[in-house]
Amino acid sequence: MATGTLIRKVHMDCPLCDRKHEVEERKRVATIILKGEEISYEEKFYLCANADADENEFETGSMTNANLLNARNAYRVKHGLLTSEEIVAIRENYGLSQVDLARLLGWGEATISRYESKAIQDEAYDTMLRLVKDNPLIALDFLKKNAVKFSDQKRAEIRTKIVEKLGSYGKEYLTRQAFEGEYADFEEPSDANGFTILDVDKIEVLISYIAEKVPNLFKVKLMKMLWYVDAVSCKMRGRAMTGLVYRHNTMGALPMGHYSLMNLENLNVHEEESYNYDSMLHIYPTKGMDYSILNDDEKEIIDKVINKFKNYKAKDIIEYMHEEKAYVETKPGDIIPFSLAKEIREF
């Protein structure tokens, strides 16, 4: 007795009557026991009109596999688990192979392949897949945790693919994380940070504020101006403004983590070629920056520094800084303590 609904007619070798003829491909709702539970799902089958009514159905091997996949996906949907298609989509979204995704998550190499084709994932595995699906930053965390499972080249490749999936929020988070990471040893107020904990929001606002008022602001000059802002702040009110820690460098004070500082997502920094073909970082104001996080005292300090150095060339501000006690009394590579920084000359 024919059941189900007709999908299409197919001309094929029929295993029931051993002839080449047109058979009907049909679908119907079937039930199966999976993990001890009765599950309804859609199954497909072929129907031979030449055979006896009680044995006129057959399936090909690939049809049986597809039916089982449907049954397992019906179980997954019922239990709120990711379907095999969703697992494939997560993997393809990141451009990863089955083995790479399995290694990324710290699983056996065949695990993802099994979940995409023949096994239902446990809830714990499902949760991990969802974490990665919704958040590339978590995928990056897994990559870090399971780094040893990849060659350096492969790891870099996968990292690039994941980073491509980060939106601007994720990129901002990443650049901050890199910068803050360099200050891991300075989480307490001390003479090194001017008794101020690193304040990335304030640093971004401060840099943009300086760039609004100082034309042709390049990195070398900005680094010195940041130090002067913190030094003046220490001198006037006993604590620095940014929480940056500065080292004695041939070109004057240089904040720790200055490379990652320049990469902060909310800064407007452009690499430009100078007259002698050196590449230089030109800092512009950031569009839409909210300056209200600077209070009047802070603006007064910053303006004082801007008015002093606005028209100095990089070379001039370096030479000026070289005369400071904080520079003279420290050695190359030393952290410049704010107890010395606050003794800057009056200006």
Taking CB atoms within 8 Å and a gap of at least 24, the contacts of 303-307 are 303/213, 304/232, 304/347, 305/225, 305/228, 305/229, 305/232, 306/210, 306/213, 306/214, 306/225
Closest separation in Å from C-beta 49 to Zn ion? 7
- Given a contact cutoff of 8 angstroms between Cβ atoms, the answer to whether 200 and 246 are in contact is no
Nearer to Zn ion, 52 or 273 (CB): 52
Closest separation in Å from C-beta 12 to Zn ion? 9
Nearer to Zn ion, 18 or 38 (CB): 18
Closest separation in Å from C-beta 7 to Zn ion? 17
Torsion of CA 213, 206, 269, 140, to 10 degrees: -170
- Given a contact cutoff of 8 angstroms between Cβ atoms, the answer to whether 44 and 7 are in contact is yes
Torsion of CA 73, 77, 78, 79, to 10 degrees: 100
Nearer to Zn ion, 14 or 217 (CB): 14
Where does this chain bind Zn ion (CB under 5 A)?
Answer: 14, 16-17, 48, 50
Closest C-alpha among 11, 20, 33, 25 to residue 58:
25
Nearer to Zn ion, 56 or 242 (CB): 56
Closest separation in Å from C-beta 61 to Zn ion? 18
What phi, psi does 77 have (nearest 5°)? Answer: -60, -45
Nearer to Zn ion, 24 or 204 (CB): 24
Nearer to Zn ion, 11 or 331 (CB): 11
- Given a contact cutoff of 8 angstroms between Cβ atoms, the answer to whether 63 and 45 are in contact is yes
Closest separation in Å from C-beta 51 to Zn ion? 6
Residue the block writes with tokens 């070398």 = 220
Closest separation in Å from C-beta 23 to Zn ion? 6
Nearer to Zn ion, 22 or 187 (CB): 22
**26/112 Cα distance (integer angstroms):** 31
Closest separation in Å from C-beta 74 to Zn ion? 30
DSSP 346: P
**326/339 Cα distance (integer angstroms):** 9
